[in-house]
Structure 1
Amino acid sequence: MTELFLSAFVTLFVVIDPPGCAPIYAGLTKGASPAQSRSMAIRACVIALAILLVFALFGQALLGALHIELDAFRIAGGIMLFVIALDMVFEKRTQRREDRAEKVMATPEIEDVSVFPMAMPMLAGPGAIASVMLLTSKAPGTEGALVVLAALLVVMALTLAALLAAGPLMRVFGSKVESVITRLLGVLLAALAAQYVIDGVRKAFGL
């Protein structure tokens, strides 16, 4: 179970990417008071967690209703995560997030960024949803699913901490350190994504 927890933690941490979200959140809430910034960070993490929990608990039932086999979802999810990993390595994902943040900041009437774009699609995006469904689907029984959910809770707690400390951290580390971390996480995610595809192909063809 320790191995499952570590695997789930690393996968979700890399996909949700708290170090990458923190500087963007700092930019989005630049004009907000500390209390407003704290409130939006908490709300964003709670909403994102709720979305991911729904897919973790009911994702398999949804696949069954759509007549999609789990192995097909593993392969598709692995390919999706691999694309995200490439974006992270070449910093395209960060650029898209920053472009989305700039659009939000350019619209004065949008003050609360907790739901959009923070909760979704930045935290609970397609990659995170696919990951949490894959992890719970291959977890052994109820105990395994609880271990995955515990890893999700820890990652979301770290994400909340990163968002709350976004401003001070950006002043200390700057954007270069964040860029290096994002690229390293991207390489790790690429390997995890390849493993998902390999597992899905093996089981689909009985290898």
Structure 2
Amino acid sequence: MTTSFNTVEFFSFTLKSIVSIFAILNPFGAIPVFVSLTQNYSQKDKHYIIRRSTYFVFGILTFFFLFGELIFKIFGINIGSLEVAGGILLSLVSINMVFGNPHKERTSKDELADLEDKENIALVPLAIPLLSGPGAIATVITLSTSVQNLFLYAAIFFAIIISCFAVYFVLISSSYLNRYLGKIGIGIISRLMGIILLAISVQFIVNGLKILFPAILK
């Protein structure tokens, strides 16, 4: 892994990583579920749930950021294959976001109903699978395997931290956002994130195909 530092490359890659991770986490899409699950909770309890959920998201993403590539190497999965698979998965999630079904690939209405009265909603269903679901995990692993520069590798971790902070502030403002934006406003934001994420997922697929078929795709 190289250690050369390019300021423009570092900041552009950091921005790309933040957009990618935050878009797939999509806390705006989780607002209706969070409001529904916590409607009978006090403000103090809601803040506690949000903090715990953010910690869980950070822990999950950091784990797969650090060890995801190793796990896939153990199973003999090629980096190019991982990028293509991650891109396909992200494209499915992003298409659902564009068409207004952000959680179709993550959880069902029956699961949400079953979990509503459980104590640990900070972990399930908020942290897993609504926020840090398979798409978010695939994004982090794909980003981490796509770089060979130590500074760019660190940029991904920085992006995870920034994205988790952003998730926290979105959820902490969920009552206001739900009231002033409404379902339509939240739906528009979620769809815009879906379009951005779809473009990023296509780029992941292209990069993966270039690794798998270097002689054909130059």
- Class of the TM-score when normalised by the shorter of the 2 chains: over 0.9
- What do the CA deviations read for 1:137-195 (whole angstroms, capped 9, x no partner)? 11232211111111111111010111111112211211110011111111111111111
Q: Give 1:4 shift.
A: 0.5
Task: Tell me which residue corresponds to 2:129.
Answer: 121
Task: Tell me which residue corresponds to 1:195.
Answer: 203
Task: Tell me which residue corresponds to 1:168.
Answer: 176
Pairing 1:58–2:80 present: no
Structure 1 contact 89–183 (Cα < 8 Å) conserved: yes
Pairing 1:90–2:65 present: no
Letter in 1 for 2:185: V
C-alpha distance in structure 2 between counterparts of 1:98 and 1:184, whole Å: 23
C-alpha distance in structure 2 between counterparts of 1:13 and 1:93, whole Å: 14
Q: Percent identity?
A: 26
Q: Give 1:42 shift.
A: 0.3
Pairing 1:102–2:113 present: yes
Q: Give 1:20 shift.
A: 1.2
Pairing 1:157–2:165 present: yes
Task: Tell me which residue corresponds to 1:146.
Answer: 154
Task: Tell me which residue corresponds to 1:33.
Answer: 42
Instruction: Decide which structure has greater helix share.
Output: 1
Structure 1 contact 23–167 (Cα < 8 Å) conserved: no
Q: Give 1:97 shift.
A: 5.4
Pairing 1:71–2:80 present: yes
Pairing 1:80–2:89 present: yes
Letter in 2 for 1:177: G
- TM-score, normalising length: structure 2: 0.89
RMSD: 1.5
Structure 1 contact 41–114 (Cα < 8 Å) conserved: yes
Higher mean C-alpha displacement, 169-178 vs 64-73 = 169-178
C-alpha distance in structure 1 between counterparts of 2:82 and 2:194, whole Å: 21
Q: Give 1:115 shift.
A: 0.9
C-alpha distance in structure 1 between counterparts of 2:86 and 2:103, whole Å: 20
- TM-score, normalising length: structure 1: 0.93
Task: Tell me which residue corresponds to 2:31.
Answer: 22
Letter in 1 for 2:205: V
3-state DSSP of counterpart to 1:60: helix
Q: Give 1:98 shift.
A: 7.3
